[in-house]
Chains A and B, each alone.
Chain A
Amino acid sequence: MTVGRTPAVVQNSGQVLPAGHDPANLGDILERVLDRGIVIAGDIRVSLLDIELLTLKLRLVIASVDTARQIGIDWWEHDPWLSSRARPPVEPGPHDPEEVEAARRPRVAGRSERAAREEWDEYDG
């Protein structure tokens, strides 16, 4: 728990990152392109509600699919809402109690979503 004098600067240029990209980086990008940016009516209707539901799920799931798999979170692969292709099940990795706790939550997606929404409300503003 060292706190550096100056914080780490994480460059955001996703396109130059190698294959094993920084997972936080993708999360930051998704958060921005889905949640922010100007909303101009297009001809193809992807409703805002669709996008909001998607971000809601994504926030819960992950942006880093690999990280989530490593800690045993893979429920979206069995969730018809999120999964449009089947992926092989993942070998469960070593779990610490907190991660197990975190992994248990998303199985009850609805409850988890409500909880997350409350959490954002609390921090929003």
Chain B
Amino acid sequence: MSTTADRTSAAALDTGVWLHGVVAEADPATLAGITGIAGTPVRTVAAAGLVAVVSDAPLTEYGEEALRRNLEDLAWLERAARSHHAVVDALSRAGAVVPARLATVYRDDDRAARALVERRDELTATLARLTGREEWGVKGYVVPGATPRVEEPAGGGGAGAAYLRRRRAQLSAREEGQRIAADAAAAVHTALAGCAVAARRHAPQDRRLSGAPTAMVLNGAYLIDRDGLDAFSALIGALADRHPEIRLELTGPWPPYSFVAEPEPHPVRGAA
């Protein structure tokens, strides 16, 4: 265990530093209006020409052992996720931000500053790439009635056989419907990606996660120039008309959670 950090007060020993995100510069007015992870104030740690936006997190609740336990508590997790997201969201509305994944905690400010120094080039490049842009989510859900109905096959046998035939017809109709919806989702994603700076297709959410009555077939994230938003939403409208077999839902604007990492470790294009 490293002993580089200077610790003087006992209180500091019991408090970690929770990282919300990294920005180029933080407006004090923006920070004043938001609350950190544990209801603590949001403050900044500056290093390497970057600013880490952090808040103090008592280690009794956010330390290693406690975190492991608390992350498994859905109510705690919801509170932490919402608090963290609220800070990141507020930052993203004020300018470009690189959101940190939930539960990035340092022993003290020096350690957080060191992380900025170590990752300076990557963070700086990412901030530049995200400036003036925001993430929008587009989800596509199966529209049940839009799938072709399969004729109920006739045949002999008793009620049991008829039931089985009906059940099989239902299942194959559902499979066909899923396939058609999946094709539509792929087409929609390709079209939207063409209108976006960058695009990602995430795993569709389970229905229990999405809360939607039908299956999700598209869970896309799109990085959009702010001045290209009108064109993007017009395109979604057109795609919704063209693909009645899926229902599209637009969410956002989101902080660019999905676009903080380059697809390739060494960017070939766009480098000077």
**Which of A's residues lie within 8 Å of B, judged by CB?**
1, 3-15, 22-24, 26-46, 50-51, 54, 58-65, 67-68, 71, 73, 76, 81-85, 102, 116, 119-120, 123-125
Contacts and interface: CB of A to CB of B under 8 A. Distances in A.
A24 B101 CA distance: 20
Contact of B89 (A5, A12, A35, A76): A12
A102 B222 CA distance: 30
Interface stretch (B6-14, B72-80, B153-161): B72-80
B102 A37 contact: yes
List the 4 closest pairs (A to B, CB-CB), nearest first.
Answer: A120-B203, A44-B105, A36-B257, A37-B101
Given A1-B143, A37-B99, A84-B73, A32 B208 contact: no
B115 A59 contact: no
A9 B138 CA distance: 9
B63 A33 contact: no
Interface string B244-263: 10011111111101101100
Contacts of B201: 123-125
Given A7-B250, A44-B67, A31 B209 contact: yes
Interface of B: 16, 19, 21-22, 62-64, 67-75, 77-78, 81-82, 84-86, 88-89, 98-107, 111, 115, 119, 123, 126, 137-138, 143-146, 201-212, 217, 219, 233, 236-237, 240-241, 244, 247-255, 257-258, 260-261
A38 B253 CA distance: 18
21 contacts: A3-B241, A9-B233, A12-B89, A12-B252, A26-B82, A27-B205, A27-B210, A28-B251, A32-B255, A38-B126, A38-B261, A40-B104, A43-B106, A44-B16, A45-B64, A46-B105, A50-B71, A60-B206, A64-B209, A67-B208, A82-B72
Given A26-B81, A44-B105, A37 B206 contact: no
B254 A12 contact: yes
Contacts of A24: 210-212
Given A6-B240, A62-B208, A14 B74 contact: no
Contacts of A125: 201
Contacts of A11: 251
Contacts of B73: 83-85
B209 A14 contact: no
A15 B84 CA distance: 10
Given A8-B249, A36-B101, A43-B106, A54 B72 contact: yes
Given A59-B205, A84-B72, A8 B250 contact: yes
